[in-house]
Structure 1
Amino acid sequence: MKWIGLTGGIACGKSTVSRMLRDRGYSLVDADEVAREVVRAGTPGLKAVVKEFGEGVLLPDGSLDRRKLGSLVFGNPDRLHVLESITHPLIRKEIARRRQNLEDMRTTLAIYDIPLLFETHAQENFDAIIVVSCTKSQQKERLMRRNQLTEAEIDMRIASQIPIASKEAEADFVLQNNRDEQHLLKEVERLDQWLKELK
């Protein structure tokens, strides 16, 4: 089975591209989805997080208060490392299980939507890498609209990732999401053709 990495810069539209590929019938594993699942209420992952960070990271219904946990780890590399040492092995195990399931079903090609593919040096795990790209000003505009962050917060988030030009240079396919939705649909059609040839 061909294992294809899908990544991009923050607010470049990777999730929209993922959704469009799913709609076209592609098998897709979403890293963010798995990351949420491994710390769902009642999971060993959530119990481990609470043991380390305290009951204060829980919402009244017993689920994880992501905003509260985020405020404890972002800007604190040591605490972030502790959190990642709990969640990353669980995420890797679940991704491996899903990948095996797809292989067992004789799937010929599957896409792994992974935001920090280059940041986690995971390039060698893939048969090919797709990067969703847009301009820095578009990233800022979309982040402002979506997250209502200050310009300083936006700059910090963009700066925390590897520059989009560096990702493009290492990609096997670059999808430009720098215009309107009609243009994006054409880019996804172009990607669809490329993926069909890979199979």
Structure 2
Amino acid sequence: MRLIGLTGGIGSGKSSVSQMLSSYGASIIDADQITHALERRGQPVWRAIFEAFGWPVLAANGELDRKKLGHWVFGTPALRARLNAIVHPAVRAEVRRQAQAAAESGAPVAVLDVPLLIEGGLYRMVDEVWVVYADPDDQAARIQARDGVGEDHAWQRIRAQMPLKDKLAYADRVIDNRGGLAELERVVKDLWQNVATGD
């Protein structure tokens, strides 16, 4: 099985690319979905986060208040590192399990959709890395529109991640998302057809 690692910065359009690949028939291993599942109330990761951060990070129903937790840790590197130390090992283990399951099922290609593919070291387990690129100003505008946050907070979230230009050094293929949606879809479809036919 060929394993593709898909990554990009926050607001780069990676989720749109992942949705397009899924519509073309790609088997998607989504790290964000895995993270949400692991952080559900009662799960070991949820318990570890609660023990580390306490009642303020819980919503009224006992689930994590992900928005509040995100606002809290994005502005404080020490807290972000503490959260990552809880979440990342569990996510990596589940990603590897799902990749193994996809290979055993006979899937010819699987896409590992991971925002922190490079930072978390998961790029080492893939056959090639695809990086979705966008200009930082476009990233900030998308974050503001999507999450309803101010410009300062959007930039804070961008700066909390590895710069997109640095991720390009790891890329086997770069998906340029500085144009419109139609252009992005054309690029992604061409890439997928090349992979699906073994080019």
When the two structures are superposed, what TM-score results if normalisation uses the length of structure 1? 0.90
Checking the alignment, whether the CA contact within 8 Å between 2:29 and 2:98 is kept in structure 1 is yes
Deviates more, 1:100-109 or 1:147-156: 147-156
How far 1:197 sits from its partner (Å)? Answer: 4.1
Once the two structures are superposed, the pairs formed by residues 1-199 of structure 1 within 5 Å of their partners are 1-198=1-198
CA distance in 1, matches of 2:168, 2:85: 29
Residues 71, 140 of structure 1: alpha-carbon distance in 2 compared, 3 angstrom cutoff: closer
Aligned length in residues: 199
Mapped partners of 2:123, 2:132: distance in 1: 15
The CA deviation string for residues 110-150 of structure 1, in whole angstroms up to 9 with x for no partner, is 11001112233433221101111122232222222222333
Q: Residue 18 of structure 1: SS of its match in structure 2?
A: helix
Task: Tell me which moved more, 72-81 or 46-55.
Answer: 72-81
Q: What is the distance in 1 between the residues matched to 2:73 and 2:161? A: 17
Instruction: Report the secondary structure of 1:42's partner residue.
Output: coil
Q: Partner of 1:3: helix, strand, or coil?
A: strand
SS of residue in 1 equivalent to 2:189: helix
* Shift in alpha-carbon separation, 1:137–1:86, aligned structure 2, 3 A: closer
Mapped to 2, the partners of 1:136 and 1:73 lie a distance apart of 21
Per-residue CA deviation, residues 130-178 of structure 1 (Å, 9 max, x unaligned), is 1111222322222222223332222222233333233223311111122
Question: Following the alignment from structure 2 to structure 1, what is the Cα–Cα distance between the partners of residues 144 and 151?
Answer: 8
Cα gap change, 1:167 to 1:77, in 2 (>3 Å): closer
Q: CA deviation at 1:179?
A: 1.7
Secondary structure of the corresponding residue to residue 39 of structure 2: coil
CA contact (8 A) 2:74 2:160 kept: no
- Which stretches of structure 1, 4 residues or more, deviate above 6 A after TM superposition? none
Specify the SS of the correspondent of 2:162: coil
* Higher deviation after alignment, 96-105 or 61-70: 61-70
Cα distance in 2 between the residues matched to 1:52 and 1:132 = 33
Letter in 1 for 2:113: D
Q: Which one is further off, 5-14 or 82-91?
A: 82-91
Alignment partner of 2:64: what SS? coil
Q: Distance in 1 between matches of 2:84 and 2:157?
A: 18
Give distance in 1, aligned partners of 2:109 and 2:22.
Answer: 12
